[in-house]
Amino acid sequence: MESGKEHLYVLQFNNGVIKVGRTADPRTRNVRHERDCGRYGLTIERRWFSGEWAGAHWAEQQLITILAKIGRRTPAGREYFQDVAFSIACEQARQVYSTTCPTCGNGVVPAPMRMAAIVANDASDEDGSLVCDFRLPCHSVITGRLHDQDMAPDGRYPLRRGEHYDIQLEYAEIGAWDVWAAEPRMPR
């Protein structure tokens, strides 16, 4: 490994807390986190590591800023977050990882994302907005405000519980997501 190159990472503990950081040695860092969280009766449920790159320090700072806007920091420190789905944290990390210019400011706001989801309930009207819950690949459920409100001939929104879609998510505010395009997807 070249000097100065590191990996960005996202971990999810079995209590739902997300931890982000950077490391030159993913294997050693992973072992250290497993040992440390075990002291508190926790385990690592999911992990994601980026490729090796020189911009990891900048990317870590950007990712921390983004996740602080989406969720809440925990008392454990500035790199630990509650109320952030693992799928969303990883997608935000990938977006930051793919931003190559550390001086342009890209990545400071949560980036729109496209990901697979399962409709968790039929769409309903909530305070004048059409909303629907979606189960993400990490099994977290988010509520999305639907912006493609085309209705089926029966007057219902066409998304039905249990159906699989690729959705376009855009962060709106804490706990709220705007969902734009929803395209049917065949379950795997």
Q: What is the pTM of this model?
A: 0.72
- Domain end (from 34, 64, 98): 98
Do 82 and 24 belong together in one domain?
A: yes
**CATH code for position 131:** 2.40.50.140
Do 76 and 157 belong together in one domain?
A: no
- Residues 179 and 188: their CA atoms lie apart, in Å, by 22
Residue written as token pair 């320090």: 57
Number of domain units in the chain:
2
Asked, for residue 135, whether it belongs to a domain, the answer is yes
- Domain end (from 32, 63, 98): 98
Do 13 and 84 belong together in one domain?
A: yes
For 157, residues 6+ apart whose C-beta sits below 8 A from its C-beta are 122, 123, 130, 132, 146, 149, 150, 151
Question: How many CA within 13 A on the CB side of residue 124?
Answer: 9
Residues spanned by the domain of 68? 7-98
pLDDT in single tens digits along all 188 residues of the chain: 445 789 999 999 999 999 999 999 999 999 999 999 999 999 999 999 988 877 788 889 889 998 998 899 999 999 999 999 999 999 888 888 765 444 444 445 566 778 888 889 877 777 777 788 888 888 888 888 887 666 555 666 677 788 888 888 877 765 667 786 666 766 65
5-30 per-position pLDDT tens digit: 899 999 999 999 999 999 999 999 99
Do 91 and 126 belong together in one domain?
A: no
Residue 177 DSSP label: E
Do 151 and 177 belong together in one domain?
A: yes
Structure-block tokens of residue 89? 């944290």
Q: Are 148 and 132 in contact (CB under 8 A)?
A: no
Asked, for residue 107, whether it belongs to a domain, the answer is no
Structure-block tokens of residue 181? 């395009």
Do 119 and 61 belong together in one domain?
A: no
- Residues 49 and 56: their CA atoms lie apart, in Å, by 11
Structure-block tokens of residue 50? 């980026």
Pairing of strands 18-23, 7-13: antiparallel
Asked, for residue 104, whether it belongs to a domain, the answer is no
- Residues 121 and 114: their CA atoms lie apart, in Å, by 20
Asked, for residue 23, whether it belongs to a domain, the answer is yes
